């Protein structure tokens, strides 16, 4: 039996289930810590040409960085609520930021062993909370291909070339 959880396409690992891909607007809030080959850095300090550690390819070079200050729906996640040290500290993400879910939640909520899910779909009111509209500086990291990055101890989707800023 062939596993349905991961497919390789152009060198990238793809989750079997992509929940709401048409509404994906992947951007990280300033202050979110991303793993790079130069260490863990706040996303706002990452520039074009920097090398970011990815789940699917080991390392990828940032091709474009888009920074925008805007008011967006936000979701707060308590430290450790999505697994042991996941996230590794209290974190805030734009509601449309996609997370890679690879635990019981993926199977129970989305019928797959892993799923790429907008963080707003994980709101439970206690550990993952809707914060309403929040004024924030967002940073979109764009690569040659979509990647899964490590941000605040979570696996998150990168922005894509064709994604228009919101």
Quick: pLDDT tens for 3-12: 334 444 444 4
Q: What is the pLDDT of residues 136-164, one digit of tens each?
A: 999 999 999 999 999 999 999 999 876 54
- β-strand pairing of 58-61 with 64-77: unpaired
Q: CB pairs under 8 A, 24+ apart, for 82-85?
A: 82/122, 82/127, 82/128, 82/154, 85/153
Domains within the chain, CATH numbers bracketed: 18-157 (2.170.16.10)
DSSP H helical segments within 102-166, as ranges? 104-110
Q: Give the tens place of pLDDT for each residue, 79-134.
A: 999 888 889 999 999 999 999 988 888 888 888 888 888 999 999 999 999 999 99
pLDDT: which is higher, 111 or 14: 111
User: Alpha helix (H) ranges present in the chain?
Assistant: 104-110
Q: Tokens representing 161?
A: 């070339």
Per-residue pLDDT at 85: 83
pTM value?
A: 0.81
- Following CA atoms 123, 124, 126, 128 in sequence, which dihedral angle do they give, to the nearest 10 degrees? -30
User: Which residues lie across from 40 on neighbouring strands?
Assistant: 35
Burial 133-146 (b: 16+ CB within 10 A, else e): ebebebbbbbbebb
Per-residue b or e along 64-73, where b marks 16 or more CB atoms closer than 10 Å to that residue's CB: ebeeeeeebe
């Amino acid at each position: 039996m062939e596993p349905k959880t991961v497919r390789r396409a152009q060198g990238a690992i793809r989750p079997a289930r992509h929940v709401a891909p048409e509404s994906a607007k992947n951007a990280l809030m300033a202050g979110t810590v991303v793993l790079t080959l130069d260490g863990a850095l706040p996303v706002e300090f990452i520039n074009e040409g920097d090398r970011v550690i990815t789940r699917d390819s080991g390392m990828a070079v940032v091709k474009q960085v888009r920074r925008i200050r805007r008011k967006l729906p936000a979701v707060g996640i308590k430290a450790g609520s999505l697994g042991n040290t996941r996230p590794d500290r209290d974190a805030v993400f734009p509601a449309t930021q996609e997370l890679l879910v690879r635990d019981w939640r993926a199977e129970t909520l989305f019928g797959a062993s892993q799923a790429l899910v907008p963080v707003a779909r994980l709101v439970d009111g206690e550990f993952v909370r809707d914060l309403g509209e929040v004024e924030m500086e967002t940073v979109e990291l764009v690569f040659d291909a979509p990647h899964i990055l490590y941000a605040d101890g979570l696996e998150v989707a990168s922005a894509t070339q064709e994604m228009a800023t919101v």
